[in-house]
Amino acid sequence: MRNYQKLYYQHYYEMLPNGTETEVSRRACFAPAEDQTLANPFKQRWYYDPEASYVIRLPRNQMGDDLGKRNAADLKASERYQLRKDKNCPGELDRPITCGDDGNEIFLEVADEAADILAILEDREKLSALFSALNKLAPDERELWNCLANKVKKQDIADRFGITLDGVYYREKRLKSIIRSDATLKTFYEKD
């Protein structure tokens, strides 16, 4: 863990056992701690806040011990997070890399190499063609399509429409043939 006493802070405080703080000098704040005794078994601890630029010398009691341990754990966790972040991503992507000759900032543009733009556009065209074919269906055919798309059991579909199970299979085949006969969709499937 980093030695936080070597950093420069703007403010130095000492917390008294009753919880009040008084501003002290750097020397008084980081003065050597007294040895632990049976009467006072707590170590000398400090509360560091590098971002706010202050340090608090905590009292040698249970409250000071708890605060110091919690602060040390938080600082250690933030150090580990920063190390992992630096290891996995050596540069921040939203920060400009440099400035151009004209003074404009130059950013890193990361291309998604896995994305196939032509395939995405073709999928969008297929989807819009499918929607247009579905919009041409009659309301009962559209309801059957929704049931089939949601994988509703055939018996439940038969009960909903008041037909037999064979009637459901017949309507399903008829619906598929209607969709396959759509001229726009045929152009996509003839390519494949």
Tens of pLDDT, residues 90-122: 666 667 777 778 878 877 676 666 777 788 888
Q: Which residue has the higher pLDDT, 122 or 71?
A: 71
50 belongs to a structural domain? yes
* Statement: residue 66 has pLDDT above 90: yes
Q: Same domain, yes or no, for 84 and 128? A: no
Question: What gap in Å lies between CA 158 and CA 152, rounded to an integer?
Answer: 10
Q: Which residue has the higher pLDDT, 106 or 135?
A: 135
pLDDT averaged over the chain? 86
Q: Same domain, yes or no, for 83 and 128? A: no
pLDDT score for 103: 78
Q: Are 12 and 20 in contact (CB under 8 A)?
A: no
Amino acid at 192: D
Counting the structural domains of the chain, the total is 2
Q: Residue 109 gets which letter from DSSP? A: -
**Out of 44-58, 85-99, 153-167, least confident range:** 85-99
Q: Same domain, yes or no, for 70 and 122? A: no
Q: Same domain, yes or no, for 61 and 126? A: no
* Statement: residue 73 has pLDDT above 70: yes
From its phi and psi, is residue 127 left (phi > 0), alpha (psi between -120 and 50) or beta? Answer: alpha
177 belongs to a structural domain? yes
Q: Same domain, yes or no, for 80 and 10? A: yes
Q: Same domain, yes or no, for 139 and 80? A: no
As a whole number, mean pLDDT of residues 38-43 equals: 88
CATH of the domain at 159: 1.10.10
pLDDT score for 94: 67
3-state percent helix, strand, coil for the chain, nearest multiple of 5: 50, 10, 40
As a whole number, mean pLDDT of residues 74-100 equals: 80
* Statement: residue 152 has pLDDT above 60: yes
103 belongs to a structural domain? no
Q: Same domain, yes or no, for 61 and 128? A: no
> Which one of 43, 67, 88 terminates a domain?
88
pLDDT score for 68: 93
Q: Same domain, yes or no, for 8 and 63? A: yes
45 belongs to a structural domain? yes
98 belongs to a structural domain? no
Q: Same domain, yes or no, for 11 and 57? A: yes
pLDDT score for 121: 86
* Statement: residue 40 has pLDDT above 90: no
Range of the domain at 125: 117-191
> Which one of 35, 70, 88 terminates a domain?
88
